[in-house]
Amino acid sequence: MSGDWSRYWRSADEPLEAMHAHFREHVYHRHSHDTYSFGVTESGAQSFTCRGAAHTSAAGMVMAFNPDDPHDGRPTTGQGFSYRMIHVGPGLVTEVLADIGGRPAGRPLFPAPVLADPGLAAALRRLHHALTGPATPLERGERLTVALGRVARASAGRPPGPGRVSAADTLRIARRVRDLLDGNYAAPVSGDDLAAAAGCSRYAAYRAFRSVAGLAPGEYQRQLRLRAARQALAQGTPAGQAAADAGFADQAHLNRWFRRCYGITPAAYARAAR
């Protein structure tokens, strides 16, 4: 057996797709995508041709393809390679980069299809985990914004320039975001919801709230959900019901974050409360 495997995810309402795969024998025929495509090689190495030259992406490196970049792909050695790939529609890239003050995506972002950029690789891994695992719409939007901010930095050689916001405006934006989250912590709040409530762009809302609260809006929302679930558990509510009422995707999602933040499981906390 080859040991090849692949898993695929796609959004039902946005031009976003993600793949996680390991290939020892599979060879990609020359093809292209109508999206920007960002990949992180996790183990081994993948060799490919793109823009008339040969390239290799080893573990920890980033592959970056512009829309309509023809390329192929094959394992560099017999051990194969594992990688994560994210495809983002050009319109969404344009929207997010305009939101954060980066240059527009009307021209190719990347002069080279392989990058050695640990920060970008880490941001893409976090985005991939958010897309394919249990995550709120707010967390997915935040990680997409952060990852594309890194994309803008990698392509332009400098960070995006979001423009200056006064201290008073920062506090006002953060207060409006907090009010929205406090009143709707169990609901699937999105970055667009934050922008509408704060009267600014998604990135400005994210940036202002984080600078004031010390947490990203998605992290703050999770803390509110954990506190609500903790209170419900102390009152004898079953863990599954407490998870659903607080807005968690399922009980396993509550278990994971409860243990990460409090060091114990919801069941152990419920027993201690009794």
Express each pLDDT in 233-271 by its tens digit.
999 999 999 999 999 989 999 999 999 999 999 999 998
The pLDDT assigned to 94 comes to: 84
Q: What is the mean pLDDT of residues 6-31?
A: 93
Residue type, 211: S
Q: What is the mean pLDDT of residues 109-138?
A: 91
Helix, strand or coil, per DSSP, at residue 224: helix
Residue 86 pLDDT level (bands cut at 50, 70, 90)? very high
Superfamily covering domain 5-156: Jelly Rolls (2.60.120.10)
What topology is assigned to 167-214 in CATH? Arc Repressor Mutant, subunit A (1.10.10)
H helix or E strand, kind and range, residue 82: strand 81-88
pLDDT at 47 over 70: yes
170-190 pLDDT tens trace: 999 999 999 999 999 999 998
Q: What is the mean pLDDT of residues 75-82?
A: 95
Task: Indicate where the chain has its CATH 1.10.10.60 domain(s).
Answer: 220-273
Q: What is the Cα–Cα distance from 61 to 112, expressed in whole angstroms?
A: 12
Q: What is the Cα–Cα distance from 105 to 91, expressed in whole angstroms?
A: 8
Q: What is the mean pLDDT of residues 94-101?
A: 74
What topology is assigned to 220-273 in CATH? Arc Repressor Mutant, subunit A (1.10.10)
Task: Indicate where the chain has its CATH 2.60.120.10 domain(s).
Answer: 5-156
Q: What is the mean pLDDT of residues 223-227?
A: 95
Sign of CA dihedral 150, 68, 37, 34: positive
C-alpha dist (Å) from residue 162 to 39, 59, 129, 172, 205: 26, 32, 26, 17, 11
Model pTM score: 0.81
